[in-house]
Chain A
Amino acid sequence: MNAELAQLLDRVRGLSEDVDFACVREWKGQGSGRKAVGYMPIYVPRELIHASGMLPVGVLGAGDRLEIIRGDAYFQSYICHIPRSTIEMALTGRLDVLDGMLFPSICDVIRNLSGMWRLLFPDRYVRYVDVPQNFSPDVGGAYWRRELEQLWSDFSGLAGRPRDARALARSLEIYNENRREIRRLYEARSLEPWLYPASELYLVTRAGSVLPPEEHTTLLRRYRELVAEESERREEDLSRIVLVGTFCEQPPLGLLLTLERAGCSIVDDDLLLGLRWLTEDVPEEGDPLDRLAAAYLECSCQTASVYQPEGRRGGWLVESVKRNQAEGVIFCAPSFCDPALLEQPMLVEALAAEGIPHTQFKYSENTGQFAVIREQAGTFSDSIRLWSEA
């Protein structure tokens, strides 16, 4: 492997493993009065944080990199893992680097976690970001614009900077560019998946949750250039898979590697959805706050936490399978994840109607044993190939 590529991958792995947020501390140290605002999955309007001169920081749980000592005392056994490791990080001072924390409305766990934050850290800025489930511009749109306005005011207060529409317009462009670059990478991966292993693509994308967007865009570009120069990566005969259910609690890297080793080549997924939530650019003309609000209504991606006013669920998944010429779907949801698991039967039905094969298993961010998953994914991949040859 090219040394620069190896180095880049080392860096992004380091960023994803760092439960102390050293890079955020470093960024804050580079200028006086710099502030950072954390957010949990999935979507928050990072543009507003950025436009206020602060760094948006994804808090995606601690995986298996932190021993949970205090976190388990806060959650019953039947609750998913990400809130445990998040509380653990907070109680051990690891999140002190964040000057505020946002909890998007994705499920009742994250919703109630926002209240736990208020109780545990009464002096910190905490906000529940209640995205609209009504998609009419005059109703959900008007509500969302008011919410965004409030958020923007909060951020400007936190940052000690007046709201600046030009700065926001600039931030919209910067994030458009960043999402465009991620989309390019996903498209490239779909065409030549052997060049972009899912485990790599995941880490490279994930770096965007802690790096400033400008720097992340440069990194994504450089990654694509370096991969294009790699001559060792050759086409392999693997099953083309869409991975679903991974939008919140992060699957361990070992799980993604296991799927690949079991013969599955991931050609689309719902990993790190928040970084690529808007599927199209926020338009360049008009009031920036209006545009940001409208973009949520018009070009949000489809996922379990978003209400779909019309039609049967799962159309987007079937469409992704077709667009990416996938041969099957792997449902891979965190244990006890309500949104993913309640959604699953509807997605299964949509796939069944199209005769698309699928398999399913659950994980936890700190799972360390993958033998069973390897076996299951291997069998699935073999069966798909046999089936497609038949």
Chain B
Amino acid sequence: MLLQKEMIGKHYRDLASAGDEGSKVVYTFVPGNLTELMGSFGVLPVLPEINALQSGMRKLSGDYISEAEKQGHSEDVCTYVKCDIGMLKKGNVGPTGLKLPEPDLLLLSYTGCFTFMKWFELLRQEYDCPVAMLHVPYQADGRIHDHHRDYIVEQLESEVIPKLEQVTGRRFDEERLRQRLALSAEAENDLVWVLESAKNVPSPIDAYFGGVYYIGPIFTAFRGTQAGVEYYQTLRAEIEERLAERRGPTTPEGELEEERYRLVMEGPPNWTSFREFWRMFSEEGAVVVASSYTKVGGLYDRGFRHDPERPLATLADYCMGCYTNLSLPARVDLIADYIREYRADGFMINSVKSCNSFSVGQLLMLRQLEERTGVPGGFIESDLVDPRYFSSANIKNRIESYLQMLEQKRGTAA
């Protein structure tokens, strides 16, 4: 955790001094991010969703959202966008208190969410900088088609790489990209080991509340770097130790003593009351053993690795394979598999108002998963970073009744 804090702190310091150092800055999104490619050009990425979620955790998002709404942004749309726009309008001071540099390029990877496109169109109105658009086809029928991969590779060659070259004044260096991809794969192996450690009973990790910390570096600026590799080595060693000592996961109240429920979680967490939300589970002894949210930046646990042998094609496969780019039937399959593989007692859906990409269809997923696995599901509603949509008492109530129901079911089965 300390290591991660240090890494992130350094990244924001680098960003704050980007102007003085002459480093170029690229704004881009988490799902389908081209970190290795950006890294091969030596640019610094800014991920507006991460800024938004950090603002949520630091209780700044409410003000930012009202600022954006005052400026005419609808109350109905994704609050990440409004949090970002509000932050920009209030001086673009990032989550660590340091000012964020303006982008030299907006790299719009249109993976898994339509709102991304509108988000960067909105930012383009604010900044005088080029936009590189990468349209990533949706895996509507559950598989990656060759011509979809070709389409992405051609866009990388004709749109993304030339714009990175133009902005940085550097030539594309395939070898450097390969090296970064190899480092990615190394870190990905360790991340998968960590996530899969939750198959143990009891689990040494919480794969949702703890999971969001574990995915932080690999989903952001540190994939394809030596620092990223070392982070995951350290993390793995720590979890190995935890496992050997049969210790439970870390929670806001310290280590979990008794694992009472094993849950699979679908949907992003709420950030404005993150720890309170986490506590609602941990206090009841509920551990999340697998989650879909920790796959928005890639399904490494299903076998995907960045492959240095096919540098651009692997980036294309990565973009198409992120969780929110999967069809609903594929999402149901994945969660059903998790429920079985991780021996879960139940599953819960946190449906967030902001995100149609995640939320539309979740009520059907709930039914399908119950029918398919015979495991009962729970359903709660909140939002990502809009504090107005986190109704604490209501959510706590729902979680408690759901867990009681699991308990009763267990009693009947015994």
What is the interface of chain A, defined by CB distance below 8 A to chain B?
Answer: 73-76, 78-79, 83, 105-109, 111-116, 118-120, 127-128, 130, 132-134, 136, 138-140, 142-143, 146, 304-305, 307-309, 312-313, 335-339, 341-346, 348-349, 362
Contacts and interface: CB of A to CB of B under 8 A. Distances in A.
Contact of A341 (B76, B133, B150): B76
B368 A114 contact: no
A108 B357 contact: yes
B327 A313 contact: no
Contact of A79 (B114, B119, B328, B356): B356
Given A119-B329, A133-B133, A142-B151, A339 B360 contact: no
A336 B155 contact: no
Contacts of B150: 142-143
A127 B140 contact: yes
A118 B329 contact: yes
A116 B78 CA distance: 22
B328 A115 contact: yes
Contact of A313 (B114, B121, B135, B155): B121
A78 B133 CA distance: 29
A73 B141 CA distance: 25
B356 A346 contact: no
A133 B135 contact: yes
A119 B327 CA distance: 10
B345 to A, nearest CB: 24
Give the size category of B's interface with A. Answer: 35 or more
Given A118-B327, A307-B135, A338-B114, A312 B125 contact: yes
Nearest to A73: B363
A116 B133 contact: no
A238 B134 CA distance: 45
A117 to B, nearest CB: 9
A358 to B, nearest CB: 11
Contacts of B138: 105, 111, 128, 130
Given A111-B138, A133-B117, A307-B135, A75 B72 contact: no
Rank and list the top 5 A-B pairs by shortest CB-CB distance, nearest first: A115-B328, A128-B140, A342-B118, A112-B360, A133-B135
A338 B115 CA distance: 7
B209 interface: no
A364 B125 CA distance: 29
Nearest to A127: B140
Given A78-B76, A343-B118, A348-B72, A132 B135 contact: yes
Nearest to A337: B76
A142 B329 contact: no
B137 interface: yes
A311 to B, nearest CB: 9
Contacts of A112: 328, 356-357, 360-361
24 contacts: A74-B364, A75-B360, A76-B351, A76-B359, A78-B76, A79-B356, A107-B356, A108-B115, A111-B114, A112-B357, A115-B140, A115-B361, A133-B110, A134-B159, A136-B158, A139-B154, A139-B158, A142-B150, A143-B150, A307-B110, A312-B124, A342-B119, A346-B122, A349-B125
Given A83-B360, A112-B361, A134 B155 contact: yes
A139 B148 CA distance: 11
Contact of A140 (B122, B135, B359): B135
Contacts, number: 156
B410 interface: no
Contacts of A113: 360-361
B118 A76 contact: no
Interface string B303-331: 00000000000000000000000011101
Interface of B: 71-74, 76-78, 81, 110, 113-115, 117-119, 121-122, 124-125, 131, 133, 135, 137-138, 140-141, 147-148, 150-151, 154-155, 158-159, 327-329, 331-332, 351, 353, 356-357, 359-364, 368, 381
Contacts of A108: 113-115, 356-357, 360
Contacts of B76: 78, 335-338, 341, 362
Contacts of B364: 74, 116, 119-120
Contacts of A308: 121
A94 B242 CA distance: 57
Given A73-B363, A112-B356, A342-B119, 4 more contacts: A76-B351, A115-B327, A136-B159, A139-B151
A113 B351 CA distance: 16
A258 B364 CA distance: 37
A146 B154 CA distance: 14
A317 B393 CA distance: 46
B67 to A, nearest CB: 13
Given A119-B328, A342-B122, A309 B114 contact: no
Given A136-B158, A307-B135, A313-B121, A78 B353 contact: yes
B64 to A, nearest CB: 15
A148 to B, nearest CB: 12
Contacts of B74: 341-342, 344
Nearest to B359: A76
Contacts of A142: 150-151, 154
Contacts of B77: 338, 341-342
A290 to B, nearest CB: 16
Contacts of A140: 135, 151
A304 B121 CA distance: 10
B118 to A, nearest CB: 4
Nearest to B119: A342
Contacts of B135: 132-134, 140, 307
Contacts of A79: 356, 359-360
A118 B138 CA distance: 15
Nearest to A83: B360
B141 to A, nearest CB: 8
Most buried by A among B74, B119, B327: B74
B80 to A, nearest CB: 12
Contacts of A120: 364
A139 B161 CA distance: 14
A43 to B, nearest CB: 15
Nearest to B110: A133
Nearest to B324: A108
Nearest to B331: A115
Contacts of A133: 110, 117, 133, 135
Contacts of B78: 338, 342
Contact of B137 (A78, A127, A130, A307): A130
A132 B110 CA distance: 11
A108 B117 CA distance: 12
Contacts of B363: 73-76
Nearest to B115: A338
A304 B72 contact: no
Contact of B147 (A73, A127, A143, A348): A143
